[in-house]
Amino acid sequence: RIGIDRINTRLDDEIRILSDIQFNCSTIINSVILGIDVRPYGGNLFPSVQIWRPSGNSNYAFVPGSERFIIYTTENVSRTGVYDYPLEPPLEVEPGDFLAFSQPSQRSSSVRGYYIDQVSFNT
């Protein structure tokens, strides 16, 4: 599933295009701030951030090569928190691009991502 609303509910096997994060210039994203809950159980798939580009008629197209997996485990972070996650390699965006968040199903992933309100960014 692909949604375009803000993340205000739990995602489950879904990609959410963050419609309020549209870039207005070409830039490089070195990191993202994420709300993460790492559970000691679940599968071995991880959520990811991606870049999506408008393709006309309210449609979006995934930008190939833009997916960065959010790899956290109970061995490298506390179970819950807000983290500045470095993107390796950094993501290049163009004017009009959107940031998206992909969350595997609960059974497939021990890492859950959450929307953090009132975080600003500059491009």
Q: Are strands 2-3 and 14-22 parallel, antiparallel or unpaired?
A: parallel
Q: What is the pLDDT of residue 51?
A: 95
Asked if the model's pLDDT at residue 47 lies above 50, the reply is yes
Listed in order, strand segments (DSSP E) in the chain are 2-3, 14-22, 27-38, 48-56, 59-62, 68-69, 80-93, 98-103, 111-114
Q: Is the pLDDT of residue 97 over 90?
A: yes
Whether residue 1 has pLDDT greater than 50: no
Neighbours of 88 (CB within 10 A): 8
Question: How many CB atoms are located within 10 Å of the residue 76 CB?
Answer: 8
pTM attached to this predicted model: 0.76
User: For the chain, how far is it from start to end, CA to CA, in angstroms?
Assistant: 28
Residue 123 has pLDDT above 70, yes or no: no
- Are the C-beta atoms of 107 and 45 separated by less than 8 Å? no
Mean pLDDT of 58-81: 80
Residues of the chain above pLDDT 70, percent? 74
Select from 116, 90, 102 the least CA-distant residue to 26: 90
